[in-house]
Chains A and B, each alone.
Chain A
Amino acid sequence: MVFSSLLFVCLFLPLNLAAYYIPKKNSTRNIIMLIFSLIFYAWGEPLYVLLLLFMTFACWMFASGIEKSKQEKPKKAKFFLFLSCLVALSLIGIFKYSSFVIDNISALTGADIQMNPIPLPIGISFYTFQLLTYVIDVYRGDAKAQKNYFNLLLYASLFHQCVAGPIVRYSDVADEIMNRKPDMADFNKGVMRFSSGLAKKVLLSNQCGSFADTLVLGDSALANSDLLAENISTLSGGSAITLWAGMLFYMLQIYLDFSAYSDMAIGMGLMTGFHYKENFDYPYASSTVSEFWRRWHISLGSFFRDYVYIPLGGNRKGEVRTILNLFVVWALTGLWHGASWNFVLWGLYFFVFITLEKLFLAKLLKKIPAFFRHFYLLAVVFFGWVLFRFENTEIMFTVLKGMFCLNSNPIATHEILMYLKDNFVFIIIAVLACSPVVKTAKGLIDYYSKRSQAVNVIYSVYRAVIPAVLVIISAICLVGDSYNPFLYFRF
């Protein structure tokens, strides 16, 4: 199930909230959340839910082993840590990367190994990483091992973040699992957060996605290898402006979609007393690649920082080792996004820019006007999305060449200009939605509210009705609409 489906909004969420608030005891509420979470997960993956149960069980067992032996037998604790990482990483390896590995072995050795592709379990990359933070936090002493398996299962499977993040660390929510007191102020915040996230996904992201699919092909067409020749012919015939515009829509879509999911997760967390950390901080407003990655999918970046980069030595072991560490982190970051070379390439592409920035580029960028710095960042990220979107390198190069009219394609056609003109207002709205302008406006309104009761009253009325209005509008747009892409099925 996805948050932006009509079934979720009209049925799952209301029933979940109602059931959650009937009992008063935290432990009963945990049971309710666990049941709803398992239904939520099984709705999309009726079989793979067992994998989630098993991986959680293994990590739960090994973590109690770690805690018991930590003091007296540190070696044994380390062994348990190794075992839990082995189980978790083997499972994600088998279910996410085996086809990729075998394809590469076949390609390298010329051996023809046939294997039925294993369908990827939804959310495996998110919950595996969450469970890893659990065992590592227990090993490091940052968290106590969870005595009750079902509480750990609730952490791993909680439908708020199980399938599309944020990657919530166990130490951040350990206390809240055992004892949380949802209050009205949090609930209010959560309502606003969820509603705006839903509207962002349904009204803006889905529309951007539909434009992107129209201009630079949809996922189902791209994934169909039988259509390769047709796809290349379509894309090579597209005008340069069409390709730029299509990728721009994709760039808008992926931010709006992903951040909307995080908004909805954070909002539902607040409604039920969980506090998840922010996952996006207007990344497109950054001015360096390093800054972008501190503001884009924050929970993933900080996972790699705290659980890979720093344990590898971070920047404390000299320049060469730092670069090597960065290389490993970015190759893994790329690979996390999908089992395909283009994702690795995409990760390493950022490695190159981050390394250059560390070496000299950051200093250089500081000297140029902010506008150009920002332009540099957007250009790097924009081309990054080209690498990210097209798994097939032939298609990727067709698009890149076409952007500079190297496919003997025209710069623009009447059709694309008409299309852009026609959707101009929407484009402006979508771009503004990616920028901190709404946040700034909110700050201004707060400032004037303190000075004028009239402003305060008008804004308060608006603020009182807007969540309900956004939910109703989103629900209307979801009726009968089959176009509702879920971008993270590869993660």
Chain B
Amino acid sequence: MKKKSKPDRKKVVRVRRLAYTAASLFFIVTLTALCALSFALPLRPEFSESEKRDLAQFPDLSAEALFSGDYFDDINLWFSDTFPMRDSLVKKSTQIKKLLGVGQSVHHFSENSGDDIPDAPEDEIQSMVDVSPDVPESQSANDLLKPAVPPSTTEKAPSGNGGNVLEQTLGSVYIYGNTAYEYYNFVRDTADNYVKAVNKGADEASKNNINFYNMLIPTSIDITLDTEARSKLNTSDQQDAINYMNASMNKNVKKVHIYDLLKAHKDEYIYYRTDHHWTALGAYYAYAQFMTVKGGNYASLSDFSQYGFSGFLGSFYNDSNKNSALEKTPDTVFAYMPKGDISFRMMQEGSTDFINWPLICDVSDYNASYKYLCFIGGDNPLSVIENNSMTEGETCVFVKESFGNAFAPYLACNYKTVYVVDYRYFDGDITDFAKEKGATDIIVQSNISMTRNSSLVNKLAETL
């Protein structure tokens, strides 16, 4: 009996040997296939949709590059960067890593505490605007204009080494459930420089009888993140930081406090879950508060047409190696178009000509990571919103970074002309510019992450 239950030794060896040979065969087939794929040049992509950047190019041959070895390094880079189907393979590799037990919830791990935030003297109490917007029904995007030309791509991720230092790069990202948050660490020197830049700009503006407003935008980690989860994280208190910076600003700066207002509406959809920006609804509250500080009526949200673009997977998603929890629940970008005859034109980086563009453009066909580009054509050095329904009205200069894109369209309800300046790409002096354009107001708006980035603050200081 015993003998029968044991397989024939020879048979065992034969099966095994067959398996080994099959393994070699599959291995050779695999290498052959990979090799064939390597030569399939037409299948090689030139642009990565998911990383929003041009892929590495085959290097030009030069004696210097050849002898230094850079030429061959660049070929290696080109080879792997533009491999056929790279975007979907990169996505697959995230799934493979997940299977291997590589975690998904912390990215750009950092324990660096922010600097201590000095206690701020109590700033003037600003009454919080009591606004409960009547959100209109979403309309079909069919009546929106579809631009024929591709969107502005200034908001590309930095490519290669270095990249554009003026781009906002995300710090540590924390993922809680299906929502990502960016850490914020207060950097005293940089915050002080921000205040200094704003004070200088406000003094200049005041000499020319121009009102100067400043608004600091908190990010989602201090507004919408669950209080208990938030309390464990090593991220600086944004309310304290904002209070400190506001209190350090001089009398010429008209400060717009929006922290408490956003906090009061924290259960609403005021920040994206897969992207670091606020939503147009978050921006609307800030607009209402701004108009209250300025002393005017803010437009009711029901006066706008609402458009929704679903399937948005923003910077957090791309920056967290395509986190699957985020991927399962993409954001919807809602945009609010003021009614009336509004025209919009923009000057793209490197150009001196304005092109006409839809204020809110239909991004339904855009790639999942581009949907935030529906507002004012993305980040451009200079763009102009004109409300032609107004026969007369004020002019303002709105100095912003990308958070301002969702905010700018509201200003069209209260200003006849809005000059939108992205200080990261704009060359020139804002006060001179405002004087030249006959503006009555300069509005500077920054999300708090900008105030810890010294190169951005330096650029703002050059502009103000």
Contact = CB atoms under 8 A, between A and B. Distances in A.
Contacts of A415: 106, 109-111, 172, 233-234
B41 interface: no
Interface string A368-411: 00000000000000000000000000000000000000000000
Contacts of B7: 450-453, 456
B66 interface: yes
Contacts of A46: 66-69, 71-72
A456 B18 CA distance: 12
B23 A477 contact: no
Nearest to B113: A237
A467 B27 contact: yes
Contacts of A414: 232-234
Contact of A451 (B6, B34, B234): B6
B96 to A, nearest CB: 6
Interface residues of B, number: 63
A239 B68 CA distance: 41
Contacts of B22: 464
A413 B72 contact: no
Interface stretch (B76-84, B130-138, B251-259, B403-411): B76-84
Given A471-B27, A479-B89, A423 B102 contact: yes
Contacts of A451: 5-7
Contacts of B77: 482
25 contacts: A5-B76, A45-B69, A47-B67, A192-B20, A215-B109, A239-B111, A413-B234, A415-B234, A416-B109, A416-B111, A422-B104, A422-B106, A423-B103, A424-B103, A425-B101, A426-B100, A426-B102, A451-B5, A453-B11, A464-B18, A468-B23, A476-B93, A476-B96, A479-B83, A479-B89
Nearest to B26: A468
A1 B28 CA distance: 21
B23 A192 contact: yes
Interface string A2-18: 00011101110111010
B61 interface: no
Interface string B9-39: 1011001101111111011111110110110
A243 to B, nearest CB: 10
A467 B21 CA distance: 11
Contacts of B26: 464-465, 467-468
B102 A207 contact: yes
A9 B76 CA distance: 12
Interface of B: 5-7, 9, 11-12, 15-16, 18-24, 26-32, 34-35, 37-38, 48, 66-69, 71-72, 75-77, 79-81, 83, 86, 89-90, 92-93, 96-97, 100-106, 109-113, 172, 232-234
Nearest to B77: A482
A460 B13 CA distance: 10
A215 B112 CA distance: 11
Contacts of A237: 111-113
A426 B30 contact: no
Contacts of B113: 237
Given A415-B172, A428-B101, 11 more contacts: A10-B38, A44-B72, A237-B112, A242-B111, A419-B103, A449-B12, A451-B6, A460-B16, A466-B23, A468-B26, A476-B93
Contacts of A191: 23-24, 27
Contacts of B234: 413-415
Interface of A: 1, 5-7, 9-11, 13-15, 17, 43-47, 184-185, 187-189, 191-192, 195, 203-204, 207, 214-215, 234, 237-239, 242, 413-416, 418-419, 421-429, 449-453, 456-457, 459-461, 463-468, 471-473, 475-482
A465 B23 contact: yes
Of the listed residues B9, B22, B66, B81, the one surrounded by the most CB atoms of chain A closer than 10 A to its CB is: B22
A419 B28 CA distance: 39
Contact of A429 (B35, B67, B100): B100
A44 B19 contact: no
A476 B92 contact: yes
B80 A5 contact: yes
Contact of A481 (B66, B69, B93, B106): B93
A456 B67 contact: no
Contact of B16 (A9, A238, A449, A473): A449
A37 to B, nearest CB: 15
A15 B34 CA distance: 11
| 7 A-B pairs with the lowest CB-CB distances in the bound complex, closest first | A425-B101, A422-B103, A460-B19, A468-B26, A426-B101, A188-B20, A464-B22
B86 A480 contact: yes
A239 B109 CA distance: 13
A53 B160 CA distance: 35
Contacts of B79: 6-7, 10-11
A9 B103 CA distance: 27
A39 B183 CA distance: 47
B64 to A, nearest CB: 11
A467 B15 CA distance: 17
A450 B9 contact: yes
